[in-house]
Amino acid sequence: MFCWFIAATGCRISEALSITPKSLDFEAKLAIVESLKKRRTGIYRAIPLPANLLEALSQWIEKDEFSSDDRLWPWSRMTAYRRIKEVMEAANIIGLWATPKGLRHGFGVRAVQSSVPLHLVQRWLGHADMKTTAIYAAAMGPEEREIASRIWLHEEQGSDMPPEEETEDESMEWNAPDAALQQDAENGTPGFPFRKISALRWVKRLMTQLTTIPAC
């Protein structure tokens, strides 16, 4: 549950180790976390918690009869680190992501990918400077590819048909440019017949056709 808590809140390992039952507001569904990387103590931030995690925490606290000031995870930082590594290994997760900081960064990246406003991500992560939070918006690797895929055609459709929202008349005009281009070529008068087809649709169709050409 320790890994789950960090993954769901994005808090630092030392902040998670300081959590007690009174740090959890079950009515407001929040975790009240003391920001331990500040120049002064006593600075807290509220982080929303998912309902299933709250339920699991509530049952655990009731079953083990924690007092309000008992730390839920009374471990050292090294022990906590080892526990996280054990869970990550059991889940076949390796590399930088298989660490407490990996869970924290994963929370930040996922929040940005889910279109959470940066000022909320900054508050939840406890960043003093928005520039630090903005790093998560600079997605790399698989995250960057996922973002780029939003502008790609859906190659898996394998269809040259027009979008479903087009009218019947527009659909009938879909193949008109081919005939017009052929006629222009025969007449020796090069042209670019748009007719009812927009420039955007021409580009989309060209990209679709290019995806069917085998790589050299």
Decide which of 96, 129, 147 is a domain's last residue.
147
Residue 215 counted as domain residue = no
The residue segments making up the domain with residue 87 are 2-147
% of the chain surpassing 70 pLDDT: 65
Model confidence at 162: pLDDT above 50: no
One domain for residues 168 and 119: no
Residue 39 counted as domain residue = yes
One domain for residues 117 and 178: no
pLDDT at 142: 64
Decide which of 147, 179, 194 is a domain's last residue.
147
One domain for residues 112 and 167: no
- The total of other beta-carbon atoms located within 10 Å of residue 70's CB is 13
The model's pLDDT over 49-102, given as tens digits with 9 standing for 90+, comes to 999 999 999 999 999 999 999 999 999 999 999 999 999 999 888 888 889 999
Residue 6 counted as domain residue = yes
Residue-by-residue DSSP string for 27-57 = TTTEEEEE-TTSSSS--EEEEE--HHHHHHH
pLDDT at 114: 86
One domain for residues 52 and 86: yes
The model's pLDDT over 124-157, given as tens digits with 9 standing for 90+, comes to 999 999 999 988 877 656 666 676 777 765 544 4
Residue 216 counted as domain residue = no
One domain for residues 96 and 191: no
pLDDT at 82: 95
One domain for residues 159 and 143: no
One domain for residues 25 and 131: yes
One domain for residues 163 and 121: no
The model's pLDDT over 8-60, given as tens digits with 9 standing for 90+, comes to 999 999 999 999 999 999 999 999 999 987 778 889 999 999 999 999 999 99
Contacts by 17-20 with C-beta closer than 8 Å and gap 24+? Answer: 17/71, 17/73, 17/75, 17/77, 17/80, 18/71, 19/71, 19/72, 19/73, 20/66, 20/68, 20/69, 20/70, 20/71, 20/72
The first and second tokens of residue 10, run together, are: 């994005």
pLDDT bin (cut points 50, 70, 90) of residue 201 is: low
Question: What CATH number has the domain bearing residue 89?
Answer: 1.10.443.10
One domain for residues 126 and 160: no
Decide which of 121, 147, 173 is a domain's last residue.
147
Model confidence at 170: pLDDT above 60: no
Q: Give the number of domains in the chain.
A: 2
